[in-house]
């Protein structure tokens, strides 16, 4: 479970205060995947980062009682001067997992071949995305955070392989997806919310959320 209790967050733009969330309270239970619909710039990445603990609220608190993933596509935990192999083993230890397993799994999935043993700083953006997704899928979480704006790869073979593993993982897991497209949420979510001007409107199903989103668009 993850719960927001009276969470507020805003940024100073240099001219005015941009409100991302204004005293938002909601809870995501295990088994009830949530999709958050919001237009560009409304604060999707900021909310996902707060859920992951990468950004702090200005006010209120976030309670987590489950294993929450880092956002899909997030590279912040990866050290550029280390190889993928060294990063995978280091992160496995941080999460209390078997480094041999995490190394073998991510080496197999990302298909970087000899580059798996070269520093991550040498990788292209696509190679970094492949490594980061492989690492996420090597670890097990209860709640997966997906930011639609995540870096993607156009490697067909990798996308097929990773897509299969992802579907498998998500079958038993709870997902929180933020997107500006209702279509992205259809794949994953049972309940949905719309974020507008700092308010999060929660709905029991995606259809109702889509109606408000379309009305306000």
Ligand X SMILES: Nc1ncnc2c1ncn2[C@@H]1O[C@H](COP(=O)(O)OP(=O)(O)OP(=O)(O)O)[C@@H](O)[C@H]1O
Binding site for ligand X (CB under 6 A): 11, 13, 18, 20, 38, 40-46, 149, 180
CB of 18 to ligand X, least distance (A): 5
* Cα atoms found within 13 Å of the Cα of residue 93, Cβ hemisphere only: 5
CB of 63 to ligand X, least distance (A): 21
Which has the closest alpha carbon to 72: 191, 154, 186, 162?
162
Could you give the CA distance from residue 5 to residue 27 in angstroms, rounded to a whole number? 9
Nearer to ligand X, 38 or 112 (CB): 38
Q: Which 8-state DSSP code applies to residue 70?
A: P
Taking residue 82's Cβ as centre, other Cβ atoms within 10 Å add up to 15
Could you give the CA distance from residue 108 to residue 111 in angstroms, rounded to a whole number? 6
> What residues form DSSP beta bridges with 144?
175
Could you give the CA distance from residue 85 to residue 69 in angstroms, rounded to a whole number? 20
CB of 15 to ligand X, least distance (A): 11
Could you give the CA distance from residue 56 to residue 210 in angstroms, rounded to a whole number? 29
CB of 2 to ligand X, least distance (A): 18
Nearer to ligand X, 89 or 210 (CB): 210
Nearer to ligand X, 174 or 179 (CB): 179
CB of 22 to ligand X, least distance (A): 14
Nearer to ligand X, 45 or 69 (CB): 45
> What residues form DSSP beta bridges with 21?
9
Nearer to ligand X, 11 or 108 (CB): 11
């Amino acid at each position: 479970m993850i719960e927001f209790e009276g969470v507020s967050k805003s940024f100073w733009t240099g001219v005015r205060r941009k409100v991302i969330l204004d005293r938002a309270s909601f809870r995501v239970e295990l088994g009830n995947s949530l999709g958050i619909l919001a237009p560009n710039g409304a604060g999707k990445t900021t909310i996902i980062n707060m859920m992951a603990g990468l950004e702090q609220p200005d006010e209120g608190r976030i309670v987590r009682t489950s294993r929450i993933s880092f956002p899909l596509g997030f590279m912040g935990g990866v050290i550029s001067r280390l190889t993928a192999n060294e990063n995978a083993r280091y992160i496995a230890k941080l999460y209390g997992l078997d480094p041999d397993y995490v190394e073998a799994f991510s080496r197999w999935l990302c298909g970087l071949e000899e580059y798996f043993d070269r520093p991550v700083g040498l990788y292209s953006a696509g190679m970094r995305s492949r490594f980061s997704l492989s690492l996420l899928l090597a670890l097990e979480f209860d709640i997966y955070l997906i930011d639609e704006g995540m870096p993607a790869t156009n490697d067909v073979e990798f996308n097929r392989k990773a897509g299969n593993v992802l579907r498998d993982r998500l079958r038993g897991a709870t997902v929180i997806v933020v997107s500006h497209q209702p279509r992205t949420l259809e794949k994953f979510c049972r309940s949905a919310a719309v974020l507008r001007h700092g308010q999060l409107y929660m709905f029991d199903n995606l259809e109702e959320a889509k109606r408000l989103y379309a009305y306000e668009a």
